[in-house]
Amino acid sequence: MADDATSAKKQTAPKRSRRFGYEKGQKLAPLPERLAKLGLVRDWDFVLHLPLRYEDETRITSIADVRYGETCQIQATVTRSELRQSSGMQLVTQVADSTGTLQLRHIHFYPSQRKQLAPGNLIRAYGLVRQSVGGLPEIVHPKIKACSSTDQSLPSTLTPIYPSGEGITQTWLRKRIDRAILDVDLVDLVPNDILQKLSLPSLAQSIKELHHPLPGADPEAYSQRQTPGWKRLKFDELLAQQISLRHGRKLRSTLHAKPLLGSDGGWEARLLKSLPFELTGAQLRALKEINSDLASSHPMHRLVQGDVGCGKTIVAALAALRAVDSGTQAALMAPTELLAEQHYQKLSAWLKPLGLEVLWLSGSLKAKEKAAAQEKIRSGQARLVVGTHALIQDAVEFKDLGLAIVDEQHRFGVNQRLRVRSSSAEGSLAHLLTLSATPIPRTLAMSYLADIDISVIDELPPGRTPVATKAVSLDRLADVVAAVKNSAAQGKQCYWVCPLIEESEKADLTAATMRADFLVESLPQARIGLVHGTMSAEDKNARMAAFAAGEIGVLVATTVIEVGVDVPNASVMIIEHAERFGLSQLHQLRGRVGRGSAKSFCILLFDPNLSQTGRERLRIIRQTNDGFEIAREDLRLRGPGEFMGARQSGVPALRFADVQTDAELLDAARDAAARWLAEDEAKALKHARRWFSGGSDYLDA
């Protein structure tokens, strides 16, 4: 096949300046590999590889008519070309048509480009026009085409610009895609009435027009993905996602799990009786939903969502005991050692007095202890196991795992949930319960979590006072230190959180250490402690335990304390450089205080030079305590991919549709998926496979 984007002699990247990151002679990976990185394997992948944007080269604008800030194409003759020394060598060219003169500037360029721009040459240049320092209109890094005559024909349609990768040219992609369009069968699988109801154009028409918009098409509308053809493709994508999730759910209902019915007077009942508090209505509701799933002979997959501090741990513990009461094992897992340890402490405190042993398993156990713990799990002697995800790693075999619980599920990625599920004995799967403090907005849940059931705990235990939140400029650090001194004198404990700096553990540690030293100096009366991500788990735990026991008054920390830590006596939270944290993170951090009865404060120390987004985040976090509201704003500011960590979640990601702005299409797709699967499952699955070839746990399962 003469298919290769790069012929044999061009297999190596051209020598370029350092800033491109190439070294001379560096080998590129083989083409299929580079294409696979872009998701381009089958013909359908190419057909659905839609343009990022479009360029309008169908028209020529006279130089006299170009406008600053607009993108256009001119046709002109090179009048001057020179190299200028200005922080590196630049190529500056002047071109003229009968109406005026325009300047082209290349900050990096190839010798071939210099040749193309030799005086006397007729060229077409395409790009964004701005005003140069000298006053002429100017295009920086224009797209240049040599021109043989002034009446050389123009393209009749907009030029598609595709997402591309190393050594893959637009020209090659265009050809490959055009051939794929001819090779696949563009027959419309989606039932006609569904399309009519939404007034969507046909698939064949949409595909052709999105790759090659008709002459006269508005490049803006196409680039903004606001045309009927785009709407059709977004709908098809959402439909494919809904079909695969729904199908995944159906497959699950054909799998077997042990029904867990609990027992009268078992551990579950005993723990409930011994609790010093009453469960909230929302906790009871979640438990009822969980218990009804556990009673089924198909594996449960339920997510319990509830704001920080709503009491998810007790719900998890009661569910675990139901599994134990039913004669199976239960496991509770957390993403970090610290959090797992807290769960272990809490469960032990509840259950030891009742006579039930909780087994602690973590990656940091000594080899011998670990082997002993694993043996207890294998033999079934350990009924309830708490640990980090080391627990779900290969070496651990459960005799009979009835229920796996994963706390802070969003940190795991959804793939890991599948691995936990396959670790149970006797051909039946474990029920799975996940817990998350990140409230997931409805549209996202409908999209990315459509295959699982959700319980929401939307009520906090009584007696909590809302945390008063203030934003204070770092200029006023001294005032904040004085306030901390004051509250420490009253026996109130305080968290002082330092941000990650440039993702570097070392710089991060330095900042936290310096802050701790500074506080030791400024607050001679208070006991200052420091926890940090690079400390050993043991040291971290010891430090946290000292804080929990009240031996430390001010705990300087990096975000290791972000998730789940529970110290009710801590009532002051200082977040330094709060503008660098994400909204959900700020909300999680703030949720560490306000757990006891004392009035709690959260102080957001911000850098006075904060960005617009930083300012926006601080405003939102100050204005509301409602986790759902905050999550919605977070989603708006960050976009769904980052919000969900969707890339590694195993759920087919969306490339074109946006669950926020296309919420209506999503609703329609959900209904259509249900109907279509009921009417013609084979055809619906065929549609989904066009979109998601390999890599979907849902279609291949």
Positions in the binding site for ligand ADP (CB under 6 A): 277-280, 283, 306, 308-314, 437, 461, 564, 566, 568, 595
Round to whole Å and give the CA distance between 641 and 201.
Answer: 28
Between 75 and 409, name the residue whose CB sits nearer to Mg ion. 409
Taking the least distance from each CB to ligand ADP, the nearer of 315 and 673 is 315
Identity of the residue, 92 or 567, whose beta carbon is nearer to ligand ADP in the bound complex: 567
| Residue 306 binding partner per list Mg ion, ligand ADP, none, with a CB distance cut-off of 5 to 8 Å that depends on partner kind | ligand ADP
39 contact choice in ligand ADP, Mg ion, none (CB below 5 to 8 Å, kind-dependent): none
User: Identity (one letter) of the amino acid at 564?
Assistant: G
Q: Which is nearer to ligand ADP, 213 or 311 (CB)?
A: 311
Q: Which of 171, 187, 57, 192 is nearest to 125 (CA)?
A: 57
Whole-angstrom distance, CA of residue 188 vs CA of residue 368: 62
Which residue has the CB atom at the shortest distance from ligand ADP?
Answer: 311
Q: Tell me how far apart the alpha carbons of residues 388 and 379 are, in angstroms, rounded to a whole number.
A: 20
Question: Of 531 and 593, which CB lies nearer to ligand ADP in the complex structure?
Answer: 593
Task: Considering the complex, state which of residue 314 and residue 557 has its C-beta at the smaller distance from ligand ADP.
Answer: 314
Q: Which does residue 588 bind out of ligand ADP, Mg ion, none, counting CB within 5 to 8 angstroms by kind?
A: none
For residues 212 and 700, give the distance between their C-alpha atoms in angstroms, rounded to a whole number: 33
CA distances 647 to 38, 318, 547, Å, are 13, 33, 37
In whole angstroms, the minimum distance from the beta carbon of 323 to ligand ADP comes to 18
Residue nearest Mg ion, Cβ-based: 564
| In the complex, minimum distance from the CB of residue 34 to Mg ion, in angstroms, rounded to a whole number | 43
Judge whether 383 and 347 are in contact, CB under 8 Å.
Answer: no
Instruction: Give the one entry of Mg ion, ligand ADP, none that residue 310 binds, where binding means its C-beta sits below a cut-off of 5 to 8 angstroms depending on kind.
Output: ligand ADP
Let me know: does 566 contact 432? Beta carbons within 8 Å.
no
Give the CB-side neighbour count of residue 58, counting CA atoms within 13 A.
Answer: 16
Answer whether 576's CB lies under 8 Å from 515's CB. yes
Listed residue (281, 282, 359) closest to 320, CA to CA: 359
CA 227 to CA 219: how far, in whole Å? Answer: 10
Nearer to Mg ion (CB atom), residue 294 or residue 437: 437
241 versus 409: smaller Cβ distance to Mg ion: 409
Binder of residue 595, out of ligand ADP, Mg ion, none (CB less than 5 to 8 A by kind): ligand ADP
Cβ neighbors of 676 (< 8 A, separation 6 or more) are 190, 191, 194, 239, 243, 683, 684, 687
Least CB distance to ligand ADP at residue 589 (A): 12
Give 655's DSSP letter. Answer: S
Q: For 165, which DSSP code?
A: -
Q: How far is the CB of 466 from ligand ADP (least distance, A)?
A: 15
Least separation in angstroms between CB 605 and ligand ADP: 24
* Binding site partner of 277, from ligand ADP, Mg ion, none, Cβ cut-off 5-8 A by kind: ligand ADP
Q: Report which secondary-structure segment, H or E, holds 33.
A: helix 31-37
Minimum distance between the CB of residue 312 and ligand ADP, rounded to whole angstroms? 3
Q: Which residues pair with 331 in a beta bridge?
A: 385, 404
Residue bearing tokens 């001057």:
80
Phi, psi (degrees; rounded to nearest 5) at 298: -115, 150
Whichever of 334 and 583 has its CB closer to ligand ADP, that residue is 334
Q: Which is nearer to Mg ion, 78 or 457 (CB)?
A: 457
Q: Which residues contact 109 (CB under 8 A, 6 or more apart)?
A: 91
CB of 309 to ligand ADP, least distance (A): 5
Q: Of Mg ion, ligand ADP, none, which one does residue 81 interact with (CB within 5 to 8 Å by kind)? A: none
Strand pairing category for 159-161 and 53-55: antiparallel
Q: For the chain, give me the number of helices (H) and strands (E)?
A: 25, 21
Least distance (Å) between residue 283 CB and ligand ADP: 6
d(CA 149, CA 158): 22
Least separation in angstroms between residue 596's CB and ligand ADP is 9
Instruction: Give φ, ψ of 306 to 5 degrees.
Output: -165, 145
Give the DSSP H/E element, type plus range, for residue 143. strand 143-146
Give 492 or 592: the residue with its C-beta nearer to ligand ADP.
592
Strands (E), 551-673: 554-557, 570-576, 601-606
441, interface contact from ligand ADP, Mg ion, none, CB < 5-8 Å by kind = none
Measured from the CB of residue 346, what is the shortest distance to ligand ADP in angstroms? 7
Q: How far is the CB of 342 from Mg ion (least distance, A)?
A: 8
Residues at the site binding Mg ion, with contacts judged by CB under 5 A: 564
Quick one: DSSP state of residue 183? H
Nearer to ligand ADP, 236 or 307 (CB): 307
CA distance 535 to 516: 15
| Among Mg ion, ligand ADP, none, residue 308 binds (CB under 5-8 Å by kind) | ligand ADP
Q: In degrees rounded to 5, what are phi and psi of residue 559? A: -70, 10
User: Residue 461 binds which one of ligand ADP, Mg ion, none, with CB within 5 to 8 A depending on kind?
Assistant: ligand ADP
Query: How near is the Cβ of 52 to ligand ADP at its closest, in Å?
Result: 41
Q: Closest approach of Cβ 330 to ligand ADP, in Å? A: 17
Instruction: Tell the smallest beta-carbon distance from residue 413 to ligand ADP (Å).
Output: 20
Rounded Cα gap, residues 326 and 463, in angstroms: 35
Conformation bin of residue 53: beta by default, left when phi > 0, alpha when psi is -120 to 50: beta
> Closest approach of Cβ 415 to ligand ADP, in Å?
23
Nearer to Mg ion (CB atom), residue 592 or residue 670: 592
Identify whether the C-beta of residue 239 lies closer than 8 Å to the C-beta of residue 673.
yes
Residue number, 257 or 308, with CB nearest to ligand ADP: 308
In terms of CB distance, is 350 or 691 closer to Mg ion?
350
State the Cα–Cα distance between residues 405 and 385, nearest whole angstrom: 10
Task: Please report how many Cα atoms fall inside a 13 Å half-sphere around the Cα of residue 50, on the Cβ side.
Answer: 23
Maximum distance among all Cα pairs of the chain, rounded to whole angstroms:
96
Q: Which does 314 bind (CB under 5 to 8 A by kind): ligand ADP, Mg ion, none?
A: ligand ADP
